[in-house]
Amino acid sequence: MSLRIGYGYDVHQLAEGEDLVIGGLTVPHEKGSVGHSDADVLLHVICDALLGALALGDIGTHFPDTDMAFKGIDSKVLLKRTWDLVQSHGWTLSNMDTTVCLQRPKLKPHIPQMRKCIAEVMEVEMGRIGIKATTTEKLGFVGTEEGVSAHAVVLLEPLASTSA
Ligand code: MG
């Protein structure tokens, strides 16, 4: 069976007066992520990994940050459109694994809701969605709370193989 793997990496600056949107949820915190869209670093790396798996470019190719249509947009809309594109090419999700790097606040209590949110947008089982969180031990831009980063890998399998 042929499989496709994809990888995504993204960074957003943190600033006061912004919402901290991660995995489709707004996480209560005194700082939030800065970006053209809602700056959801986790959904962005998932989009990039999905696109990368099929060599379809990246999130900036499909949703340019120069386009006012995407100003402040809910990244769940970007994920849904990206996922529709992947499925239209004949592929579905085997699984994904992701890590969010954030010094504060602790994300662990929010991870079940993030997994549920992503599973609902993509209409796949929660068991296929892995989310982990780590600090960077106060090192680097994550550790100094200047930014948030995330990594994702996805594995795609042919659509037909799941219905067979
Ligand atoms: Mg981004």
164: in domain: no
How far away, in angstroms, is 54 Cα from ligand 1 center?
Answer: 19
Ion ligand 1: residues, CB within 5 A, are 10, 44
How far away, in angstroms, is 161 Cα from ligand 1 center?
Answer: 32
39: in domain: yes
How far away, in angstroms, is 46 Cα from ligand 1 center?
Answer: 10
The 10s digit of each residue's pLDDT in 133-163 is: 999 999 999 999 999 999 999 999 999 855 5
How far away, in angstroms, is 154 Cα from ligand 1 center?
Answer: 17
If one counts the domains in the chain, the total is 1
82: in domain: yes
How far away, in angstroms, is 124 Cα from ligand 1 center?
Answer: 23
Domain containing 143: what range? 4-158
Question: Which CATH number is 103's domain given?
Answer: 3.30.1330.50
64: in domain: yes
22: in domain: yes
pLDDT score for 78 = 97
163: in domain: no
130: in domain: yes
The 10s digit of each residue's pLDDT in 21-47 is: 999 999 999 999 999 999 999 999 999
The token pair that represents 14 in the structure block: 């943190």
